[in-house]
Amino acid sequence: MRLPPYALLAIAIVAEVIATSAMRASDGFTRVLPSALVVAGYGVAFYCLSLTLKSIPVGVVYAVWSGAGIVLITLVALVLYRQVPDLPAIIGLGLIVAGVAVLNLFSKMQAH
C-alpha cells in the first residue's frame, strides 16, 4: 500500500517532533533508550520526507515540515517542560503558520 504524499509528510513531521523531544531526554546521548528514539525518529522522518519529494515541490515540503515542526515542538515544550512562549514567540509562530498557509494556498510551484 502506497501512502499519499501528504500522509508521508505528516508521518515525517510527527517522527521529527518525537526525535527532537527525545533528544533533550537523551542527556547528550548518554541515555540509551532516548538516544535510540532520536536516531530512529530522524531516520523515519528523513525517509518519509524524501518520498514526499517525488510529488511535492521541495520548497513546499520543507516549509510545511519545518513550520509544523516548530509549532509542534513549541507545544511539546510547553506541555512537557513548561516552557511558556511569550507574546513575541506567539506572534512569530503565527507568522510561520501564515507563511506556510500562503505558500500552500497561493503558490503555483510544481514538482519536477
Residue 111 lies in a domain: no
Residue 43 lies in a domain: yes
**With 90 as the cut, is the pLDDT of residue 16 above it?**
yes
Strand, helix or coil for residue 26: coil
The range of the structural domain enclosing residue 10 comes to 5-106
**With 70 as the cut, is the pLDDT of residue 9 above it?**
yes
Residue 42 lies in a domain: yes
Residue 51 lies in a domain: yes
Structure confidence at residue 104 (pLDDT): 83
- Give the model confidence (pLDDT) of 31-66 as tens digits: 999 999 999 999 999 999 999 999 999 989 999 999
Residue 33 lies in a domain: yes
Number of structural domains, the chain? 1
Residue 89 lies in a domain: yes
Structure confidence at residue 107 (pLDDT): 80
Q: What is the pTM of this model?
A: 0.88
- Give the model confidence (pLDDT) of 54-97 as tens digits: 999 998 999 999 999 999 999 999 999 999 999 999 999 999 99
- CA 14 to CA 79: how far, in whole Å? 16
Residue 64 lies in a domain: yes
**With 80 as the cut, is the pLDDT of residue 112 above it?**
no
Structure confidence at residue 111 (pLDDT): 56
- CA 65 to CA 16: how far, in whole Å? 9
Residue 85 lies in a domain: yes
Q: Any alpha helices (H) in 1-112, and if so which ranges?
A: 5-25, 32-52, 58-81, 87-106
- Indicate the pLDDT class of residue 105, thresholds 50, 70 and 90: confident
